[in-house]
Each structure stands twice: as structure tokens, then as C-alpha cells.
Amino acid sequence: MTILLTGAAGFIGSHLTEYLLSAGHTIIGLDNFDNQYDPGRKQVNVRLFKQHTNFTLIEGDIRDQTLLAGILKRYACDTVVHLAARTGVRDSVHEPAVCIDVNVNGTLSLLEAMKKVGLKRLVMASSSSVYGNSSVVPFQENDDANRPLSPYAMSKRSAELLAHTYHHLYGFNVACLRFFTVYGPRQRPEMAISRFTAKLYGDQPITLYGDGTTSRNYTYIYDTVLGITRAIEHLNGFELLNIGGSAPISLRELVVLLEKAVGRKAVIDWQPNQPGDVYLTSADLTYAKTKIGYFPSVQIEEGINRFVRWYYQSVVCL
């Protein structure tokens, strides 16, 4: 299988690239190496597989429809995995125009390029943020997802709706994967687990917003990659699928796990709740298990230990 993978140099994209290459697939990786966070981190990610004979790296932007169509045609891609995005709830509150341009117009550009070359297989990243502060717990794929609390959430829901339109009009086979707070080695530096770990090793206060009771369903990167590959294998029709961990934990419980793994006590800097943040994310995985055989295998305690070991070896010891 020849796969165009957008966002190939990022956190999830680099892990997925490694896995798909090991499974014998050909990967055409597209990334714009933007400066939302240090692009040098992405360059380090890419070094892991840049010389692989079945990997081609192209630096470019998903909003460039001509570029996308040219890539799809030149390399005879048969599937697209779309992970490229402007990430982050809080960043989107401060820069909504950039978020919406990349996530909505970029997805539209990709869909149009696919239509132009007659390619109809797409697996794309969505987000648990589309559920907002849902009153139904755990979140199910058929719940109302039309009350976003941030531009980021709105952009991801809009991308889902665009994809459904192309399924309806042109027969695209699409799986929209609603990721629930992915973590693990190479996680983006602004995300909570990375940020808290850095603060612990640096003997600096950890900033917590609210009262520490907000909860997230954290998903280890191995399980996320498994969900993506299962979606590729079972791609048919239009699907919304939760790809999450086994159970949510509170922010305060997360800090306790990190304290144990790092071996240091945190100093907490308490701050008010941030605009755009949801109180809880909780994935109902029943449908994903039925449709694609997805279920997470890495519990949060083990995942945190794995992440901290990687962080110590790759960051602290350098």
C-alpha cells in the first residue's frame, strides 16, 4: 500500500510512519515543519526513518491543492492518512484564524486534490474536543457534537462534516478518528504530560488550572497507532470512531503518577480555569471495538512510566 501521510514528522505521524514502514508499506510523508513548536523536534523525529527505502519526505503545506494533487498522482497513492493540523485548544483561542485556515481549508484542499485524481480512501484525525462539555458520559460517536468550546474543536468538527459531504457526493470512504489526549515518547512539548515532566526534572512549579478535578482520557501512542492502522484496514463507508484510553483520570491524579515515576514532589501553582477547556473527556470504545477491533492495551500507569523513562534518556541525559 502506498500512503500519503500528512503531518508525518509530528508526534503521532512519526510513530505511525515507523509502524507502517515496518509493516512493508510505502509512505509519502508531507510536513510543513511550521513553528508552532520547535521544528527541530520534527527534524529529529524524521531522522529515525528518513533513509528508509520506502519513505519519501516532502516539505509542503496541505493548503497547497496543486502540490497535493501532484503528489497523489506522481506516487500513485491509494490511501491518505491526514494528521496535519494546527493543534491546541488554547493556541486556537489566541489565533483562531490560523487554526481554522489550516484545519478546515487545509482539509478541504486535501479532499479536492483527492477528488481531482480519483482517490477515495481517507483516514483522518479528529479530536475528543468536538464533544464539548457533553452531558452523556462516556462519549459516544452518535452524541451531539455541535457545541464546540474552542476554535480548535470547531475546526475539527467542521473537517468531519466536510469529509462526510465528500462521502455523500463522491463516494469517499472516510474514517474520522476522534483522538483522546495522546501521549508517549516524542509528545509535543506544550502538552500536559511533557510540560509537567519537564517542570519536575527542572525543580519548577507545575501550573494547574481550576481545582485539579478536570479529567482526561489519556491514550498511549502505541494504542493510537493501532487504532489508525485498524481504521486503514477496515476502511469502508463513513465512520466516526473514538480512539481513546481505557478510563479517564483527574489532573491531580496525573500529577501523582508523574511524581512517582520521576521520583520528585511537585510544587503546584494553582490558576483559574482556562477558556476553551472542557471538564471531562471519556471515550466509549464499544463502537470502535465492534467496527475495527480497537481496544487499548497500555494502562495509564504503565504509559507514564514508559514516557518518563524515554524523557530521562532522551532529554535529561543529553
Catalytic residue numbers read: 152
Answer for the pair 153, 179: CB distance below 8 angstroms, yes or no. Answer: no
Residue 308 CA to chain centroid, in angstroms? 20
Q: Is the dihedral of CA 16, 21, 22, 23 positive or negative?
A: positive
CA nearest to 6, candidates 52, 71, 76: 71
